[in-house]
Every structure is written in C-alpha cells, then in structure tokens.
Amino acid sequence: MRYLLLIAVSFTYLFANAHIFVYHRFADDRHPSTNTTIAQLESQFQYFQKNGYIVVPIEKIIEKVSNKQDIPDNWVALTIDDSFKSFYENGFPIFKKYNYPFSIFVYVKATQKKYKDFMNWEELKEVSKYGTIGHHSYGHQHMTTLSAKEVFEDTLKANNILKAKLGIEPKIYVYPYGEYDQKVAKEISKFNFDAILNQTNGSVNRNSDVMNINRIALVGKVNLKQKLKYKTLEAIWLEPKIFPKDSILKKIKVKVNPKYKTMKIYVTGDKWKDIKVKNGIIDEILEIPLKKNRTRVIISPDYYTVSTKLIIKNK
C-alpha cells in the first residue's frame, strides 16, 4: 500500500502545458520534409492570435521550469534550428511582421565556413536584435557516434567562435538531429547551459527536466491544432535504457500513474499496440525487431498525452 501511495504522489498530473515548436527552412521547396511555406507560417501565426495563444521568449518558459512553477497553457515559444539562410530571407520578415520572439540555434561550422545555404555572421548579428542566439554544435554531427572528448571539444569550439563573432555566450543548447545518450548529455552538461532542448513530441510543464525539454517540429504539412493537443505523460523509464545489441526490443518497463489500467505503445516502424498497466507499472514482453537505428519508444493513454524514450544504435 505504501509503495502504491509513493507512486501516486510521484505522478501528479498538471494541466498547465506550454508548447515549444521548432522550424528549420522557410519557403525552400528543395527540402519539403524540413520546409515551412510562408502561407503555412502566416496561417500558424494567425491561429495563435485568433485562439488566445501568447508567443513568449523561450527564456520565460525555461525560468518557469527552473523554478518549478506552473506555465500558462496558452504560452508558446518558437525556435529555429540550423540557421539556414532561408530564415533570414523568408521567415525573418514574417516574425518581425507579427512581432514574435524567437530563438535561432546556430550550426557554427556552416557559418564559419561560409556554406551557401546558411546565414553569415552579419545576418546573425541582425537577427540577434530580435531574438535569442543559441548553440547547435560546431560540426552538427551525430553526437552519439563521437567520443566524450570529441563531444566536449565540439561544444567548446562552437562556444568560443560564437563569443568571438557575436560577443555572446549561448545559454541554451539543442542536440543536432535531436540525438543524445547519457554520454552526450553528461558532456554537454559540463557547460552549464540554462537549458538543453530535444526534438520530441510533448509539452512543457513545471515537472519538465530543464536539461531535456520537449519541442515539437512544425515542418512539412502539419496540423497545428493537433500539435497543440500534445501533453507530457509523467513517467519513469526503467527499460529500455540503451539500444539492444541484437536490435530486438525485448521488453519495456515504465512507472506511470496508477490510475491507468491500460496504455498504448508505439515503436518506430511498428504500429500502436495496447499494453497493460498493473499498480502503476508497465512491464511488458515485446520482442520487437527494431527497424531504425534511431528509435523512439512512445507510451500514451490517448495518443496525445505522451512519454518518449529515444534509443540510438551507435555504429
């Protein structure tokens, strides 16, 4: 009985769930899977206005999470990854038109090496007057494939360049490709960022981990109304911890609120399946062959209240 009470206390459900969205390219038809058209962007911004959503600087949400304070349901923060030139040329004017704050996370090597599709330092200086500049690594590599030393050195190199070129020390880090493991998270945490962001469906509330904050992608053809339905399922993942060596997910074990009797599970490349919850514990034999090297294991009671475990196979 005492064990059940502890679980119930651990999983208090809060209804205040803010949302952080991530964009990549704007009006760039060459890359439809990561592109947002100007018509889509304007439609989304108009939806925010008409439905009472307030677009806030991401720092306001981070401050609430850090202080374990409730976050208003109607708060939204907007982020842009990779610092593509299409943001400067096509997206930036729309953000200014609506006076919406944003955070742009810089792929430092691309700017430093003057890659054609990326913003230059002068353009980044200009956008920094309207939004926050954040850290998206130096080399934009699959960080889980690097050694701990390489992860640290990549992060340090980007920090030093951003300080030299823009005069800033970034306070927020975003994992390249949204990929990380315990090794990567440990190295990035050495830099004392105020927050680290992933790219996983879910909301942000007072129980969120400020070093692993959810963001929802708004790229390609998306239904914003549905994206705003996502909420975070409070859960403690016990298994899996890492990608299985034989690429077979044998079982899942997760602590959730004891009020649930059943749950749904989704594994990348597979279909949603029903699983049982007993006394606040999901303990299910699966034996699912994993089809992707980057696999998301998602549990949900309703498809929108979600908790996700990302496991990555290192080559």
Task: Determine contact, residues 85/117, Cβ cutoff 8 Å.
Answer: yes
d(CA 94, CA 45): 9
pTM exceeds 0.85: yes
Write out pLDDT tens, residues 207-222. 999 999 999 999 988 9
* Strand pairing category for 132-135 and 103-106: parallel
* Whether the predicted pLDDT of 9 surpasses 50: no
- 56 in helix, strand or coil? coil
CA-nearest of 147, 216, 159 to 187 is 147
Res. 232: pLDDT tops 60: yes
Say how far residue 128 (Cα) sits from the centre of its chain: 22
Q: Compute how many other C-beta atoms are within 10 angstroms of the C-beta atom of residue 50.
A: 8
Q: Which of 19, 71, 62, 72 has the alpha carbon at shortest distance from 218?
A: 19
Domain residue ranges in the chain:
18-229, 236-312
Tens of pLDDT, residues 70-111:
999 999 999 999 999 999 999 999 999 999 999 999 999 999
Write the pLDDT tens digit of every residue in 105-145: 999 999 999 999 999 999 999 999 999 999 999 999 999 99
Domain 236-312 has CATH 2.60.40.10: yes
Q: Please say whether the beta carbons of 169 and 182 come within 8 A.
A: no
Classified by CATH at the fold level, domain 18-229 comes out as: TIM Barrel (3.20.20)
> pLDDT at residue 11 above 90?
no
Residue 263, pLDDT score? 96
Pair of tokens at residue 14: 């809060």
269: left (phi over 0), alpha (psi -120 to 50) or beta: left
pLDDT at residue 1, as a whole number: 42
Pairing of β 236-239 and β 294-300: unpaired
3 state DSSP class of 221 = coil
| C-alpha 277: how far from chain center | 27
Q: Which of 8-17, 176-185, 300-309 has the lowest mean pLDDT?
A: 8-17
**Same fold for the domain at 18-229 and the one at 236-312?**
no
Residue 315 banded pLDDT, cuts 50, 70, 90: low
Residue 314 binned pLDDT confidence (cut-offs 50, 70, 90): confident
Instruction: Give the whole-number percent of the chain exceeding pLDDT 90.
Output: 94
Using the predicted structure, report yes or no on whether residue 15 has a pLDDT greater than 90: no
Separation between Cα atoms, residue 37 and residue 41, nearest integer Å: 6
For residues 97 and 113, give the distance between their C-alpha atoms in angstroms, rounded to a whole number: 31
Summarize pLDDT for 288-311 with one digit per residue, the tens. Answer: 999 999 999 999 999 999 999 999
**Beta pairing partners, 132:** 103
Asked if pLDDT for residue 5 goes beyond 60, the answer is no
Average pLDDT over residues 169-179: 96
Q: What is the pLDDT of residue 220?
A: 87
pLDDT of 240 over the 50 cut? yes
Q: How far apart are CA 277 and CA 185, in angstroms?
A: 30
pLDDT at 4 over 70: no
